[in-house]
Amino acid sequence: MSGNFVDYVKIYCKSGKGGSGSQHLHRDRLTPKGGPDGGDGGRGGNVILRGNAQYWTLIHLKYRKHVKASAGGDGSRQQRTGSDGKDEILDVPLGTVARDGETGDFLFEITEDGEEVVLKKGGRGGLGNTHFKSSTFQTPRFAQPGEMGDEGWCILELKILADVGLVGFPNAGKSTLLSSISAAKPEIADYPFTTLTPNLGIVEYRNHKSFVMADIPGIIEGASEGKGLGHRFLRHIERNSILLFLVPADAEDIAKEYHILLNELKQFNPELLDKRKLLAISKSDMLDEELRTEMNELLQDELPKDLDRIFISSVSGLGIDQLKDTIWNAINDE
């Protein structure tokens, strides 16, 4: 999936110019010198983003650098209004954020299937000469030109929609966990930063139920300030219902690693701390039962009382069923 997963594109969008109003004067066999009857120009086409629940990536826009909507038609005689320019509609996954390409300012976010939001508005059509007729000015021989469309660079970013987001330092075992409990096949190796793009996995639960888990690339200390791949990955965590922190059992200080990860999220967006949090201590097959009990008692004093802690091993299967049960209950509590 990693080769086809695109979560960031920058495209140049241009909406259509409005059609010109008509300056036509009515003429026929019986009316050699009639008054104005010019119609209005049609509006230019809009560039629109539309939410599509069938899309999971922005790859279909990766190589489409320019998007241009068509111009509105000109007005004509007998007060005929010009046709509206054809809208250019871009289907995007739910969780897509639009930003100004020059300033990076947030514009809007697409969150619902079928939701449509105008990214670049088409120019208004010009008024025909009929609008300028008055009792003292019977024959206006002019009309308005159509307005120019809007254009400029736009950034589209995708925030993954998943029930559970895996949060941890590089090489904490997130990819291994995802591959062991779902059909996802992320790249796995024994070195940091194996995961360079988010991976999604559908986890089968009891009675044909399921939930979606996202393996977010490893956070490093300072990611909230843009170090490493920073913001590009942290934004994916914003849309997860539950945050599953993964810290390996062989970490020098499990509680310290958890608090560092928590602080990175807080620096990026304090609202993330309002989400339900779970802690899984991975690679626990290297500990015997006595060591796990001892470690659990130590962590009880160093971690929040309401933080569920589960010792797991993706290799041996230790604690995996308990983890699924805890996640399922947390999702349904939400």
Q: What's this model's pTM, rounded to 2 decimal places? A: 0.64
3-state secondary structure of 66: strand
3-state secondary structure of 21: coil
CATH code of the domain made up of 1-158: 2.70.210.12
> How do 276-282 and 242-248 pair as beta strands?
parallel
Please state, in angstroms and as integers, the Cα–Cα distance from residue 146 to each residue in 16, 129, 130, following that order: 10, 13, 16
**36 backbone φψ class: left, alpha, beta (φ>0; ψ -120 to 50):** beta
Q: Digits of tens for pLDDT over the chain (334 positions)?
A: 445 667 889 999 999 999 999 999 988 788 778 889 999 999 999 999 999 988 878 889 988 889 999 999 999 999 999 999 999 999 998 889 999 999 999 999 999 999 999 999 999 999 999 999 998 888 899 999 999 999 999 999 987 667 888 888 877 777 788 888 875 444 433 433 334 456 677 788 888 787 888 776 655 555 555 554 445 556 666 767 788 999 999 888 999 999 988 888 888 778 888 889 999 999 898 888 888 888 988 898 899 888 999 999 988 889 999 999 999 998 887 5
Tokens of 43: 């509006």
Which residues 6+ apart lie within 8 Å of 6 measured at CB?
A: 57, 58, 59, 61, 62, 158
List the chain domain ranges.
Answer: 1-158, 164-333
Q: Which CATH architecture has domain 164-333?
A: 3-Layer(aba) Sandwich (3.40)
